[in-house]
A and B are shown apart, each in its own frame.
Chain A
Amino acid sequence: DTAVSQTPKYLVTQMGNDKSIKCEQNLGHDTMYWYKQDSKKFLKIMFSYNNKELIINETVPNRFSPKSPDKAHLNLHINSLELGDSAVYFCASSQDRILAEFTGELFFGEGSRLTVL
């Protein structure tokens, strides 16, 4: 059973289109994340979300929006795609980050490679 699964694995689309990437976790975690990994492998957090709070990285354009239908899902919707959005997007989850026991262990999906032409 895959702990954190995301679809699609590959996505090729034209500039200006709107696309979504889906993420599901079966670990019972309270917090989910979206990370962007650029061509230089740099991992940058985009959002963290639990059912109480959405934390948005201030550098993320408002064309990006997380949508969570329930605790086990956090989808990423991107409007008006641009060339610079091409990257690998990782979904991750962890136990509630505000708990004192938060260990820093994130469980990542296998990534969704987005190519904008």
Chain B
Amino acid sequence: QQQVKQSPQSLIVQKGGISIINCAYENTAFDYFPWYQQFPGKGPALLIAIRPDVSEKKEGRFTISFNKSAKQFSLHIMDSQPGDSATYFCAASGVTGAGSYQLTFGKGTKLSVIP
């Protein structure tokens, strides 16, 4: 059972364009929604995160939009740069169906920003 669904699987964006990655979740007990960025050969690293009491959070060129009623959230990368080329994972944390508190990842989106 996949609790966090992420799309698209891959994304190619022109330099300067907007990259948009979408995620949907099922478990209403999730209460924190981070995005992780992973470069080749490295571990994932936290990029930006949001709690469900706000609808948007912006940090530099990165923005999370959150729609609690639709159980969806998205990452927008403005003015995308070649250095943003990486795999992006959405995630959700909270109590799972098994009763434990853990972070559940989406399947990842490989972003390629071309010059």
Residues of A participating in the B interface, judged by any CB pair closer than 8 Å: 4, 40-45, 48, 55, 58, 90, 92, 97-98, 102-106, 108-111
Q: Contacts A40-B107, A41-B87 given: A103-B49 contact, CB under 8 Å?
A: yes
Residues of B participating in the A interface, judged by any CB pair closer than 8 Å: 32-34, 38, 41-46, 49, 87, 89, 91-93, 98, 100-105, 107-108, 110
Instruction: Name B89's closest neighbour in chain A (CB-CB).
Output: A43
Instruction: Name B44's closest neighbour in chain A (CB-CB).
Output: A108
Please report the number of residue pairs spanning A and B whose Cβ atoms sit closer than 8 angstroms: 60
| B contacts with A: majority SS | strand
| A contacts with B: majority SS | loop
Looking at the assembled complex, report how far the CB atom of A36 sits from the nearest CB atom of chain B, in whole angstroms.
11
The answer to whether B43 and A109 have CB atoms under 8 Å apart is yes
Q: Contacts A40-B107, A42-B108, A105-B34 given: A98-B101 contact, CB under 8 Å?
A: yes
A83 to B45, CA, bound (A): 28
The answer to whether B101 and A97 have CB atoms under 8 Å apart is yes
The answer to whether A103 and B32 have CB atoms under 8 Å apart is yes
